[in-house]
Structure 1
Amino acid sequence: MDDPSPWMLWRLLLPVFIAGCVHMVVVTCNMLPWLAVPLNARLFGSNKTWRGGVVVPLISTLVAPLCLADEVDNPWLLGAATGLGYMLGELPNSALKRGLGIAPGTLPVRRKGLFLFLDQADSGIGVALACGWALALDARQVLLLLVLFILSVPVIKLMLHSLGLKESRF
């Protein structure tokens, strides 16, 4: 990919954003309950489940060709990579919070702003790195993808909250 515009880079995020929203519908409606098993409750908490690890990459993989067929050579690979990057990107932050005794789905009183930022950025780091790998993007493009992800997430979470698919707005 030569030098994509910020708009084109943001569009690379669209499949994983759609997958994340579908995942919230799946969680809210308790679909696929047999997959709602924690990956490792002690390390990551009870909110990181096999359901998310399967649903997000799968939906991102299926949606990517619909969104990006004309923009990238292998949208299937990009969808799979970003979906997996999204889920894997959340795990180090979850492990850090569990290690500090912070309950799943909550923010600490001390350094609340830092953890709020980490909650927005963790999956974005995974997605940006996955895009960089799948499309051989340079460091500047990967960083711009991360910034676009972080700026988009609060809007998406607010939308999910207003639709009743997410408890908190953040």
Structure 2
Amino acid sequence: MELFAQTLWLAAPVIGAGVVHIVAIHRGWLRGLARTPLDCGIMLHGRRLLGDNKTLRGLATMVGATIGFVLVEAALSRHTDWGRRLSLVDFDRVSPVLWGVLLGGGYVVGELPNSFVKRRLGVAPGAAAPGGLAALFWLFDQVDSLAGVLALMSVVWVPPFAIVVFLAGTTLCVHPAMALVMVALGLKQRVG
């Protein structure tokens, strides 16, 4: 049970940042950054690299909010016994700001390959892939951000296999739940 709690603690800053991002979209915060796509409008073979849905606002809110939540976790791990027990990261060795950049940046970077491939196939941002590809892209969309987080976090810490399994399970529950919230708020047309 402790391993599961530690996994949720590890994931909490990114989950919290996801909530902040949803609020930023819903409230129209950082509109200038929302109008600036990460691909800067660059085309490849007549199609956008990533599309309009991957923006500087997403990058800024995911990285910035993740850093904020990690700073809270680092303080709790330094000043409380329960925070120390939950933390899998030694914040005396790893800078909380660096850890937040790796987690939040990993989340954003992990989403980009899926968007890139969808644009190559002519799938519009926010639209479902055609036919039999829909299920494959839906599954990949649920775990792509986790792959990015794992890749970047491994720069300073490689999680044990059990943590990776728990993170995958957490991701497969939280990601669709967040999408449901976005659909309910009218920020997204569908889950997946």
TM-score range, shorter chain: 0.7 to 0.9
Residue matched to 1:17: 15
Matched, 1:86 2:107: yes
Unmatched runs of 5 consecutive residues or more in structure 1:
none
**When you count helix as a share of all residues, which structure comes out higher?**
1
Unmatched runs of 5 consecutive residues or more in structure 2:
42-47, 78-86
Equivalent positions of 1:3-152 (< 5 A) are 5-36=3-34, 37-40=36-39, 41=41, 42-68=48-74, 69-70=76-77, 71=87, 72-74=89-91, 75-110=96-131, 111-152=133-174
Matched, 1:159 2:181: yes
- Work out whether residues 26 and 32 of structure 1, in 8 Å CA contact, stay in contact via their aligned partners in 2: yes
Q: CA separation in 2, counterparts of 1:23 and 1:134? A: 26
Residue matched to 2:191: 169
- CA shift in 2, pair 1:11/1:17, >3 Å: same
Identity %: 35
Using the TM superposition, name which of 121-130 and 12-21 deviates more: 121-130
Q: CA separation in 1, counterparts of 2:189 and 2:20? A: 15
Bigger Rg over Cα? 2
Q: CA separation in 1, counterparts of 2:156 and 2:8? A: 15
- Structure 1 SS opposite 2:49: helix
- CA shift in 2, pair 1:53/1:131, >3 Å: same
Using the TM superposition, name which of 23-32 and 55-64 deviates more: 23-32
- Structure 1 SS opposite 2:155: helix
Q: RMSD between aligned alpha carbons?
A: 2.1
Paired amino acid for 1:25: V
TM-superposition CA deviations, 1:28-47 (whole Å, max 9, x none): 22211111201114100111
Question: TM-score by structure 1 length?
Answer: 0.85
Q: CA separation in 2, counterparts of 1:60 and 1:160? A: 19
Using the TM superposition, name which of 70-79 and 41-50 deviates more: 70-79
Using the TM superposition, name which of 43-52 and 156-165 deviates more: 156-165
Question: TM-score by structure 2 length?
Answer: 0.77
Task: Tell me by how many angstroms 1:85 deviates.
Answer: 0.3
Aligned length: 167
TM-superposition CA deviations, 1:46-96 (whole Å, max 9, x none): 111111111110110011122354123233332221100000001110000
- CA shift in 2, pair 1:47/1:160, >3 Å: closer
- CA shift in 2, pair 1:128/1:48, >3 Å: same
